[in-house]
Chains A and B, each alone.
Chain A
C-alpha cells in the first residue's frame, strides 16, 4: 500500500474552530490514477495539503510508502516532499526569473545533485515533454500548456512516489486541458506513475481510474471509473 490514511481529522482554528476533515480513510496503491472530487469547501484541498506534507493533521495516521508522516520537523518535511512527492499546481508555480530548465532542475538542486547531472536530467525530462526547444525560455514567454508541462517535468525529475496535481487544468483552455490530462494519463499507463488529481471538474476526474468524492469533510463514495464513462469533457458536465 503506497498511501494509507486512517481516520484523518483536521480542524482549523481561526477565531472559531472549523472542522474540515472529519475522519478520512483512504488507501491508494502504487500505480493508481485517482482523482479527488468535491465542491469548494468540501475539504479536498486540505486533504491534498496533508497528502503533500504541506500541512499537518490533528488526529489519525498517514503512511506514505510505509513511513508514518506525523509531527515532522520542517527539515524532515522538506526532505520527504523533495524525495517522495511531485507537485503540479493550478497556477503552475514556476519561478519567474528562472528559465524552464532551471525550474526543472530546482528539486535536484535541493538534493545536492551537481550542476552537470542536474542539467542533463532536466533536459531529458523536457525532451520527454516535447519542450527541448523551450529550455532556455522564461515562463512568461510560454503558453499555459507549455508552462504546465514544465511543471510536470519538474514534478517528475526526482522520481517521486506520487504526483499530486491540484486543479492541473484550472488555468488552461479546454484543448490544452485535454492535452495535459492525456499527458498525465500516459505517464500513469506507460511509466506506472501514481497520480492523484484534485479537481472539481468532472471531465478532469473522468480521466482517473478511481474517483473519490468528498463532501463536508467525509468520503461520500469511491467510484470505480476504469471504464471512463462517468462523464466526458463537454458532456453532462460543468467543464468549460
Chain B
C-alpha cells in the first residue's frame, strides 16, 4: 500500500500544474453537487415547516353539502357531523385501525381579557386530550387538557405563548401565568397551560375542554370536526381505500350517496404526507442528477489527463513489464492514481461546498419573504447531512475508478517490445 502511494506521489509530483487543473474540475463538480443538495434541503425544510405541526397518521372529517340527490333527498343538503359519528369510528370495521378520536367545536369572535390587556376576536377550540398528540401541540408551560377536565367540565384554558408574552409585557416566564384567570367574553377561565403558537400565522386558537364549552353554551350533539389517528396503513392505495371506507360510513349514516365526495370533507393527512414525501423524493433525485452531471465533466477531465499520462509513460510501463510487472500491477497503479486525484480534490470541493452551505444558511437562510400576507423563510437550514457526505464519498470513489479504468486498460495493454522500441 505504501509502495503504491509512493509511486502515485512520484507520478503526481512530476505534473503538479496539470494535476491541479484536473482536480479543480472535480472539486467544482462535487462543490456544485453539495451546494445544490444543500439549497434543495433548505427549500424543502422551509416548505415543510408547516407539515410538522400535525401527526401524519390522522384524518379530519368536516360536514359538507351533498352533491347529488339520494334516497329521496335532494342535493345541496347540509350535512352536520354529530357525536354519533364519532361513535361510528369506535365500532368495527374501524375500531381495529383507529387509535384516538377527538371531536372539535370552534366558537369565534370573543374578547379575551387579562388585567388591562386584551385580545379581540379570539376563537375557542373545544377539544379532547387526544388532540395534543394529533395536532402536535407543544406545551411551553403547564399542561394540556386531561380526562378529568373533560369529566368535570372544568373551566380551564390553554393560551399560546404569543398571548402569554403580551400578558407578561414581553416577558417569557410563562409559568407565572399558570393558575391565573382570564376572561373570555363574560366567562372566567383558569389558565392551565401555555402552548407554542406558530409565529407569522394565524395560529391563535385557545383550547378548552370539549364538555365545558358544550355545557356552557347548551349545545346539542353537533360538532365541527372529528379528528382521529389510525395505524396499519402504508401505501397510497391502502390510504385511499380506508378514506373511502370512512366516507361511505359517514355518508350512509347521513343518508347521502355512499360515493358522494362532498357530503363530508375528509382531510387525509396520511395521503398528503405520502404525496409530499414523493414530491420531496423527486426534487432530491433531480438535484442529485444535476449535480452528478456537473461532476461528469470533471470525471471526463480526469480520464483525459490519465490517458495523456499513460501515453507519456508508455516507455516506463514497457520497462516495468519487461522486469516482471503483470498487467494487473499496471492497472492497479493507474486506477489508484485516478481514485486518489478524484477523492483528494473531491474532498476539497465537498468541504468548500459545505462552507458555502453554511454561508447560505447565515445569509439567505436568515432572511424572510412576504408571501400571501405571511412572512416565510426562503431557506431553512440549507445544509447537507452526514448521509449525503457519505453518498458523495461513494460517488467520488466510483467516479475515480470509472475515470481511471479506461486509461488503465490502455496502459496494461502496452507491449514491452513496442514500448522499449519507442525511445
Contacts and interface: CB of A to CB of B under 8 A. Distances in A.
B326 A74 contact: yes
B324 A93 contact: no
Given A74-B327, A154-B323, A115 B10 contact: no
A91 B423 CA distance: 9
Contacts, number: 60
Contacts of B417: 49, 54-55
A208 to B, nearest CB: 23
Nearest to B326: A78
A33 to B, nearest CB: 22
Given A115-B2, A115-B3, A79 B326 contact: yes
Contacts of A237: none
Contacts of A115: 2-3
A49 B328 CA distance: 22
Interface string B409-423: 000000011001001
A45 to B, nearest CB: 9
A97 B10 contact: yes
B324 A83 contact: yes
A110 B423 contact: no
Contact of B323 (A75, A91, A106): A106
B324 A78 contact: yes
Given A93-B319, A95-B316, A154-B323, A109 B328 contact: no
Interface residues of A, number: 28
Contacts of A49: 417
A98 interface: yes
B8 to A, nearest CB: 12
Contacts of B315: 93
A98 B10 contact: yes
A87 interface: yes
Interface string A85-96: 001010101111
B324 A87 contact: no
Interface in A54-93: 54-55, 74-75, 78-79, 81-83, 87, 89, 91, 93
Contacts of A87: 322-323
Nearest to A114: B3
B321 interface: yes
A81 B324 contact: yes
A98 B316 CA distance: 11
A57 B91 CA distance: 90
B322 A75 contact: no
Interface in B253-275: none
A140 to B, nearest CB: 13
B329 interface: yes
A49 B419 CA distance: 13
B326 A75 contact: yes
B336 to A, nearest CB: 15
A110 B329 contact: yes
B14 interface: yes
A118 to B, nearest CB: 9
A74 B319 CA distance: 15
B60 interface: no
A110 B420 contact: no
A143 interface: no
Given A74-B327, A93-B315, 10 more contacts: A54-B416, A54-B420, A55-B417, A75-B326, A78-B321, A81-B322, A81-B323, A95-B319, A95-B320, A106-B320
Give the 10 A-B CB pairs with smallest separation, nearest first.
Answer: A82-B324, A110-B324, A78-B326, A107-B323, A93-B319, A54-B417, A75-B326, A54-B416, A78-B324, A81-B324
